Structure 1
């Protein structure tokens, strides 16, 4: 049954004929015609940092043209250190790099780009101020299920609802099937989600129209953005530096997609589960920032279905089923980032075993510095810190061991989310929340794995199991210079004579590689 569902996903891409209005929803106001007197339409671009292959931008431009109005694209920075774990030099520079290319593309198309720089002001107030200053009555925003964005959009909706002749639309430009159309509720597992995807995929799997050169010029000409000024406008953790293997922007995302399809896709199906082989797409940074459309990646991969059938099936299952299930979780479950969001059986089993004796207990700092007894785990943490990315299989092992070696499941979840959001280029993402909740809290996973101390009925992963699946010696040697490749105890309170962890850092010019033929379980595994 599962195989037939996967086959059913591979319907041919349809030519674009008209905008599917189910992709958008009216959040405030009376509708598209309720903007009499407006001097423009504005698209607040948050999660999808691109102009092409962007349903929100397409909708906003069509709306502006129908009303003979100029189009403005707005963006801004929200995260600040230390309140936001993702407020790092690595993340902010990648985001700004993407927005810089958006500005260039807007200028090419005759669209005005404006960076909302008042970083001490809540985003919804920056948007309403822009509306007031330039008499903008039509606003479009893209979609994110995460609470920070959701909160700002709810506040914006409330403000616009008070205004005369103004309206706010939201367009899901991140998913192929809009999250509110895929399902009316949280889906329990990938199997059920796959059923929903199979039923609706062909309706939404269409080619994108190209953005037009905008026929109506803006009334105001904004100066080019001072990107260096923007770069230093918010406090960030400067110690989390940029990586060398991934450069930001729409064009770089397209390059990486072409590289994956031409050089990696052939072996993806068979070898994607080995952390020592380059058999994953490594697209997640561009997908996270919306600098690459998952819809576009699916279209391009689909062209090779006949040639690389198994690989294409598995890639699309990851980038559609698992990815959109992550958005489904965060959209319908307000506790997607804490144990209250776990299924009842998982809460019960973790509570039952919360007082079990732990063989090892580490602090948040020890985890962060990769100072555990397990050199395989340490290597994964170092990869995360150095590359800004961790191989999907190791990410699951990494999170599950944090559960095993923490004082409580609540602390484990907090530590895993912090480390992922702080160091990963795809951190603070629905996939990350779903992945950590899968690993630690049993989300999207049935309780059929027996019962063990500490972890209870949560699926367990072991060092010995990793040894049987791939060459751990090769992986550890790459990221844990100076350590043997066997896990062995060290003192829980580290000796002052132990070398600092940065001695073992080994920056690389490309992210880690992979092989293996076993199926990765969980939403982190396939991208």
Structure 2
């Protein structure tokens, strides 16, 4: 791509202009919250270093959690370590997700080695029986009762055991982790927190959101309108350039630190769902993410405002898989796009609204709503209206298997489902229509409709198992972040979408022809 290499060098220079390293950067401590122990690194001469436990943000540069860990390690002149826990079926329930995630992690290890940072992979599946492993799926729903099959602690005890062992082996003096509002990572962190010694500092940095979720709002916000001013008034503090993560001057000589990960063995031993294959268009890793961002800026940003809701005229960034796996910081995308405000005006404003405000609204919802993927997580008016209409007769009903195989009588819905299955992505506008139709066609009621939508999205979409996906489904099916509308059959007061309405927005035949059954 013309100019791409110069652009990447420019970004490197931007980091250096912000600071030569994180030690000279004015790091906002509001990004950090203490989970256990003192908020100061214990200045003991025999400390084996600082450990960054990477969970959600799987990248090296532009990572506030990694930067904070290096800041501590440089201050106390100790080695810097990073570990990643590979958890059975949770992060990568299909080969599609596994290949993308592992492809990115191999690059993380390579970058860490080049920076004299020690990378450790903890495979939580080691020592587990196949029957125990198979229960790791977060969304394998039993057809007869639609209940999730998963261990009650989401492998929290195994994660804590292996992480604690690594901490003891390396004589770690401080642990830093990143942030996710979802149940499983929250459970892992809580298990680790309870097992660590009381004087071992353990802190969390929100490296995913521009405004840390605990700073954005202290409650579950009603809508994008209500959270927007709270986020935007803090951009001066948080929407800054990143300093660089530099080559670390302090090394670890322990045998554990000299080991490299056998990624081929990791791939060969994958035992999850291999029927959902990787996709060719999405290459994993941060380098690929920057390529996609550059192509969006060069080729589609100018048309983003006009065509973002037109599935037949692609204008979206396509960055959500890399955002989801933390292979690119949304803050980096916002910084680069915002620099073109003078050129693309409204398109830049709308991109920032979606990449910043709407994304962080989703994290806000999941953070403050434990049942973020259940009808009980919706507002009371939505629960009441959906329960009232739960047994309304459907003109047509389909099973989950029929939906999964694009076996409905709606050619647009079928094409959207094929797009999801074949490419690992679905256009954002169509996700709304797609989820609402599942509610309309699910004879078992709204609770099961939510479960079916989550199952299909999480199984096939590269950006599945994400706050944005859960909130998108909850918006479509039970009116989260929306208002009540005129009451109608099945939907009650939840906003309705129909085929003819889509025809007014875009050329349905054009989109359908791209994902036909032929």
Fold similarity call, TM over 0.5: yes
Instruction: Work out whether 1:116 is the aligned partner of 2:152.
Output: no
Contact 2:92 2:101 in 1 (8 A): no
Q: What is the rounded CA distance, in whole Å, between the counterparts of 1:284 and 1:378 in structure 2?
A: 22
Displacement after TM superposition at 1:228 (Å): 1.6
2:210 aligned partner: 176
1:384 aligned partner: 420
2:144 aligned partner: none
Stretch of structure 1 that moved more, 222-231 or 465-474: 222-231
Deviation per residue, 1:400-438 (Å, 9 max, x gap): 000000020011000000100000000000000110000
Instruction: Work out whether 1:304 is the aligned partner of 2:340.
Output: yes
Displacement after TM superposition at 1:234 (Å): 4.1
2:87 aligned partner: 78
2:143 aligned partner: none
Contact 1:32 1:63 in 2 (8 A): no
1:69 aligned partner: 78
Q: What is the rounded CA distance, in whole Å, between the counterparts of 2:285 and 2:91 in structure 1?
A: 22
2:446 aligned partner: 409
Deviation per residue, 1:241-268 (Å, 9 max, x gap): 0001100001100111111111110000
Q: What is the rounded CA distance, in whole Å, between the counterparts of 1:147 and 1:105 in structure 2?
A: 30
Instruction: Work out whether 1:272 is the aligned partner of 2:278.
Output: no
Deviation per residue, 1:117-142 (Å, 9 max, x gap): 24247222211110112211311111
1:105 aligned partner: 111
Q: What is the rounded CA distance, in whole Å, between the counterparts of 2:394 and 2:310 in structure 1?
A: 29
Displacement after TM superposition at 1:195 (Å): 1.5
Distance 1:159 1:262, change over 3 A: same
Contact 1:257 1:297 in 2 (8 A): yes
1:422 aligned partner: 459
Structure 2 matches for 1:343-422, cutoff 5 A?
343-407=379-443, 408-422=445-459
Alignment equivalent of 2:494, drawn from 453, 458, 472: 458
Question: TM-score of the superposition, structure 2-length normalised?
Answer: 0.88
Contact 1:85 1:418 in 2 (8 A): no
1:49 aligned partner: 58
Alignment equivalent of 1:31, drawn from 36, 39, 46: 39
Q: What is the rounded CA distance, in whole Å, between the counterparts of 1:416 and 1:118 in structure 2?
A: 28
Q: What is the rounded CA distance, in whole Å, between the counterparts of 1:222 and 1:169 in structure 2?
A: 26
Q: What is the rounded CA distance, in whole Å, between the counterparts of 1:327 and 1:34 in structure 2?
A: 32
2:247 aligned partner: 213
Q: What is the rounded CA distance, in whole Å, between the counterparts of 2:102 and 2:229 in structure 1?
A: 38
Structure 2: stretches of 5+ with no match in the other structure: 1-14, 20-24, 129-154
Q: What is the rounded CA distance, in whole Å, between the counterparts of 1:275 and 1:61 in structure 2?
A: 43
Q: What is the rounded CA distance, in whole Å, between the counterparts of 1:164 and 1:154 in structure 2?
A: 14
Alignment equivalent of 1:201, drawn from 225, 235, 239: 235
Question: TM-score of the superposition, structure 1-length normalised?
Answer: 0.86
- What SS is found at the alignment partner of 1:75? strand
Contact 1:177 1:201 in 2 (8 A): yes
Alignment equivalent of 1:144, drawn from 180, 196, 212: 180
Displacement after TM superposition at 1:86 (Å): 4.9
Displacement after TM superposition at 1:377 (Å): 0.3
Deviation per residue, 1:212-249 (Å, 9 max, x gap): 11010112233221112112444211010000110000
Stretch of structure 1 that moved more, 223-232 or 399-408: 223-232
- What SS is found at the alignment partner of 1:208? coil
Displacement after TM superposition at 1:198 (Å): 1.9
**How many residues in Structure 1 have an aligned counterpart in Structure 2?**
465
- What SS is found at the alignment partner of 2:51? strand
- What SS is found at the alignment partner of 2:491? coil
Instruction: Work out whether 1:478 is the aligned partner of 2:499.
Output: no
Instruction: Work out whether 1:95 is the aligned partner of 2:107.
Output: no
Displacement after TM superposition at 1:187 (Å): 0.4
Q: What is the rounded CA distance, in whole Å, between the counterparts of 1:291 and 1:412 in structure 2?
A: 31
Instruction: Work out whether 1:263 is the aligned partner of 2:299.
Output: yes
Contact 1:24 1:171 in 2 (8 A): yes
By percentage of residues, which structure has more helix? 2
Runs of 4 or more above 4 Å deviation: 13-16
Contact 1:109 1:213 in 2 (8 A): yes
Q: What is the rounded CA distance, in whole Å, between the counterparts of 2:336 and 2:447 in structure 1?
A: 41
